[in-house]
Amino acid sequence: MAAIAKTDTAKPDMKERILKTADRLFYLQGIRAIGVDTIAAEIGISKRTLYNHFPSKDALIEAYLERRFVRPPSEPAPSAKTPAEQILATFDSLERRFAAADFRGCPFVNAVAEVGKEDRAVKKIAKAFKESRRLWFRERLEQLGVTGADALATQLVLLVDGSIAQDLVRDDPAMARAAKEAAKVLLRNAGVDVGDAVAEARRRARKRSPQ
């Protein structure tokens, strides 16, 4: 019985080792460039052992993307930041990520680009991830009472994805700052106070203008 318990405990550990190794290699070097042989050799196991946990490379790719898909909590934790500040903080986080030596873009976009649109399982996970981020923006815009929150959330997601693409081409984390400034423009146009000098100057100008 003790031997059986030991085996059951060891299985998830090996599965996690395989998944962590695949995650690192797939993201840094590409899904197409990395085969199961490379992953197995990196861990020091046989391909058969790998296939005991993941029956195919496709199954491993799906598990890799699911692992990367950190879903927002159904009940968000209270935040000291206003919804507008939370939205803009997204771009601050992007800038820090862009500056990291291991940044290789969005793993979901990369996966669809590599395996092709015909792979429905990969595309489904990627689409779900992108939509979850769009809905995150929409929820905060709705908290701000923005009209047309759904359309504006889509525009903010486009700024996020556009800044990622620009950083990959230019290798310039400042692309996130440029996207943040564009996001401020969108928010101001929607009537959101983004708490900066430009918005304040506009409010003062409106007050001074004749009625």
pLDDT at 75: 56
Task: Give me the chain's average pLDDT, please.
Answer: 89
205: buried, middle or exposed (CB in 10 Å: 19+, 13-18, 0-12)?
exposed
The pLDDT tens digits for 57-79 are 999 999 999 999 987 665 556 66
Rounded to 10°, the helix 120-143/83-98 angle is 140
Q: How far apart are CA 64 and CA 18, in angstroms?
A: 10
Integer Cα distance of 148 and 138 in angstroms: 9
**Is residue 52's pLDDT more than 90?**
yes
Q: Which residue has the higher pLDDT, 12 or 86?
A: 86
Q: How far is CA 141 from CA 82, 83, 102, 156, 165, in A?
A: 11, 7, 32, 11, 25
Confidence (pLDDT) at 7: 45
| Predicted confidence (pLDDT) per residue in 112-123, tens digit | 999 987 889 999
Task: Tell me the two tokens of residue 36.
Answer: 């199961």
* Reported pTM: 0.83
| 1 token code pair | 């019985």
Q: What CATH superfamily classification does 2-68 receive?
A: Homeodomain-like (1.10.10.60)
Alpha-carbon span 59 to 122, nearest angstrom: 10
The yes-or-no verdict on residue 129 having pLDDT over 80 is yes
- Separation CA 162–CA 173 (nearest Å): 12
What pLDDT, on the 0 to 100 scale, is given for residue 118?
80
CATH fold match for the domains 2-68 and 83-208: no
Per-residue exposure over 176-195, b if at least 16 CB sit within 10 Å of its own CB, e if not: bbbbbebbbebbeebebebe
Per-residue pLDDT of 78-109, as tens digits, reads 668 899 999 999 999 999 999 999 999 999 99
Rounded to 10 deg, the angle between the 57-68 and 107-115 helix axes is 160
User: From its phi and psi, is residue 71 left (phi > 0), alpha (psi between -120 and 50) or beta?
Assistant: beta
205 compared with 131, residue with greater pLDDT:
131
**pLDDT digits 0-9 by tens, 152-210:** 999 999 999 999 999 999 999 999 999 999 999 999 999 999 986 554 555 555 556 55
CATH superfamily of 83-208: Tetracycline Repressor, domain 2 (1.10.357.10)
- Confidence category of residue 10, pLDDT binned at 50, 70, 90: very low
Q: Which residue has the higher pLDDT, 9 or 14?
A: 14
For residues 167 and 176, is the Cβ–Cβ distance under 8 A?
yes
The closest of 49, 172, 30 to 112, measured between CA atoms, is 30
Residue among 174, 199, 190 at smallest CA distance from 137: 190
Return the domain boundaries, the chain: 2-68, 83-208
Q: Residue 4: is its pLDDT beyond 70?
A: no
